[in-house]
Each structure stands twice: as structure tokens, then as C-alpha cells.
């Protein structure tokens, strides 16, 4: 089992920044792809960014490309999502995710391939 705990959400005005953290514990060596998803009320959960656990190319949704940066500190078993130039449409519950499946070379790993989820952290961006 892998446990994921997010932190760092909050409320900001448009144009502001937030950094989300995801602390992983348990059998983290079994995971190959980690990432962030988000879900707004009434919407489906969507992938935002992903990173291979052993290093390699990151991938972003078009809606966040150039504004969000995903990174990881393997020594701390922690993944981050730096979110800059936030927009009201970024408002959602953000979830940390981990999978045993290898990150695809192109495109984001679908939610159906995620084996482990965090509890979520709310991000609210006001105009």
C-alpha cells in the first residue's frame, strides 16, 4: 500500500501562486508514475501533470502548461506542484496520485490507471 497526503491548498486571487505538496509513504518503490489531478464541482476528474518516479520527462495538460511545474524530492518522498499565474478556472479539489503503471511518453495517464489517491486539497482562485 501507498499512502499519499496533500497539503498547500488555499484561496488566492487571480494571478497569484500556490505550491502543493504530496508526501508519500508505504511501498513507494512500487510506483512508477506520479501526478496531480483536479476535479471541479460537476466536472470529471482530470489530469494536470505527471512525473516518472525514477526521473524523466514531465507532462502537463494544455490548460496549465507554462504556469504549473511538477517536481519531486525522492529523498523526502515528496512531490510538488508549483502553480503560478492562477486563474479562476483553476479552482478545484486537487488530488495527488500514484500508479504502478509507467507514465506514457505522450499524454497524461488516465485516472483509471491510478492505484493510489490522496484525500485532496482545495484550491480556490478568485477574480
Residue 85, pLDDT score:
98
d(CA 17, CA 62): 18
Q: Where are the beta strands (DSSP E) in 1-120?
A: 2-7, 10-13, 18-26, 33-39, 46-52, 59-60, 68-73, 78-83, 92-99, 116-117
Residue 56 in this model has a pLDDT that exceeds 90: no
Residue 30, pLDDT score:
86
Give me the mean pLDDT over the 100-108 stretch.
93
Residue 2 in this model has a pLDDT that exceeds 90: yes
Cα 33 to Cα 17, 57, 91, 99, 113, distances in angstroms: 25, 11, 24, 5, 10
Which of 109 and 27 is assigned the larger pLDDT? 109
Amino acid at each position: 500500500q501507498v499512502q499519499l497526503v496533500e497539503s498547500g491548498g488555499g484561496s488566492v486571487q487571480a494571478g497569484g501562486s500556490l505550491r502543493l505538496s504530496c508526501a508519500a509513504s508505504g511501498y513507494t518503490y512500487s510506483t512508477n508514475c506520479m501526478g496531480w489531478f483536479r476535479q471541479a464541482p460537476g466536472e470529471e476528474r482530470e489530469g494536470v501533470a505527471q512525473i516518472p518516479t525514477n526521473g524523466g520527462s514531465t507532462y502537463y495538460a494544455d490548460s496549465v502548461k507554462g504556469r504549473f511545474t511538477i517536481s519531486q524530492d525522492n529523498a523526502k518522498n515528496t512531490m510538488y506542484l508549483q502553480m503560478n499565474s492562477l486563474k479562476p478556472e483553476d479552482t478545484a479539489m486537487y488530488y495527488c496520485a500514484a500508479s504502478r503503471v509507467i507514465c506514457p511518453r505522450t499524454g497524461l495517464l488516465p485516472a483509471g490507471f491510478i492505484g493510489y489517491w490522496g484525500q485532496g486539497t482545495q484550491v480556490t482562485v478568485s477574480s
